[in-house]
A = this chain, B = another copy of it.
Amino acid sequence: MTRVVTLGEIMLRLSPPGFERLLQSPMLSATFGGAEANVAVSLAHFGLESVYLTCVPAHAVGQAAIGALAREGVRTDFICRRGERLGIYFAEAGASQRPSTVIYDRARSSFSESVAGAFNWAEVFTQARWFHVSGVTPALGPGAAQATAAALRAAKEAGATVSLDLNYRHTLWTEAEAQAAMRPLLAHVDLVIGNEEDLQRVLGLAITGVDIQRVSVEFGPRLVAVTLRESVSASDNGWSAVLWNAQTSTFTESQRYSVRIVDRIGAGDSFAAGLIYGLIAGKSPDAALRFAVAASALKQTIPGDFNRVSVAEVEQLAAGNASGRVQR
């Protein structure tokens, strides 16, 4: 199996049932998620050896996070058990004109306080084919930023391909801080992923999808992918993406889906995972992008952060079967 390594924070996600507002009822659905954890789960479902690196506290909540990942097929044996608490986020699903809302309670998490020095990078990256991280990870604090840099270096040394999802979070840092931290990282990155807002805020590039080659020119990555979300309402979104391949100077536009949203959290992560899988599987950029967009459209129909779909399911949609007919 091909090994892909990801590094990041996993959080306990607490959501009210259905379309209720947060704590409207005294019941919360309790799942787990985090940008890179979501990528790791997708990749495990796609059949890769998905190694996820994080730190969780050595108590029942931390253990449950590990169990949730293991259940999806992620390799959890490198995860460190340290620190005091697992980050938490409250996610309320929007509908129609009412936006979804997220409240983060992740400060002082085990990951942000313990990840520096938690891993033997050389050991982790043995036989690794790919490394993926998002902009959330370095934003979590000095230790996390240091671990991100160390991981990027180790990945390159091990010959792994590196992908970075810009993933700007205004609750974690300012645009200036993000730019100062992220721009230098891009030199080590092969594939950069983001949406238009990310390009603006993290790279300072006021461009639309079609100009994405500028990312490559200015910052170095040979592959640049941008997801395009048209937010008609909290219930209905258009979803597509574009890809720039600087080596072949080809610009690819994906198919577009009108998605009836079930849960849009993790869409970008599932796109990243789809693209990584597609490229690892040797698909053409066009086919890999189709796969990534199909995978992430499916994600948005599944509750929770994780994209619980198989390669076969994604391929079927990517091949054009979007009719939703019953599969018996």
User: Which of B26, B59, B103, B261 sits near A25, CB closer than 8 Å?
Assistant: B26
* Residues of A participating in the B interface, judged by any CB pair closer than 8 Å: 14, 18-31, 59-61, 64, 67-68, 70-73, 84-85, 88, 90, 92, 94-105, 107-108, 169-171, 231-236, 257-262, 264-265, 294, 297-298, 300-304, 308-309, 313, 317, 321-328
Closest 3 CB pairs of A and B: A234-B324, A71-B71, A231-B323
Interface class of chain A by DSSP: loop
Answer whether A100 and B23 are a contact pair too, CB < 8 Å, given A30-B28, A107-B85: no
Number of copies: 6
| CA–CA, A64 and B67, complex, Å | 13
Residues from chain B with Cβ under 8 Å of A108 in the complex: 107-108
User: Which of B73, B232, B317 sits near A67, CB closer than 8 Å?
Assistant: B73
| Contact between chains at A19 and B302 (CB < 8 Å) | yes
* Nearest chain B residue, comparing its CB with the CB of A13: B26
Residues from chain B with Cβ under 8 Å of A25 in the complex: 25-27
| Contact between chains at B260 and A327 (CB < 8 Å) | no
| Contact between chains at A101 and B326 (CB < 8 Å) | yes
| Contact between chains at A326 and B99 (CB < 8 Å) | yes
Further contacts, 5 of them, CB under 8 A, given A61-B90, A71-B71, A84-B105: A21-B60, A26-B26, A96-B259, A102-B327, A236-B260
Listed by A's residue number, 13 A-B pairs whose Cβ atoms lie within 8 Å are A20-B304, A25-B26, A28-B30, A60-B90, A67-B73, A85-B105, A96-B262, A96-B297, A97-B257, A100-B326, A107-B108, A233-B322, A235-B260
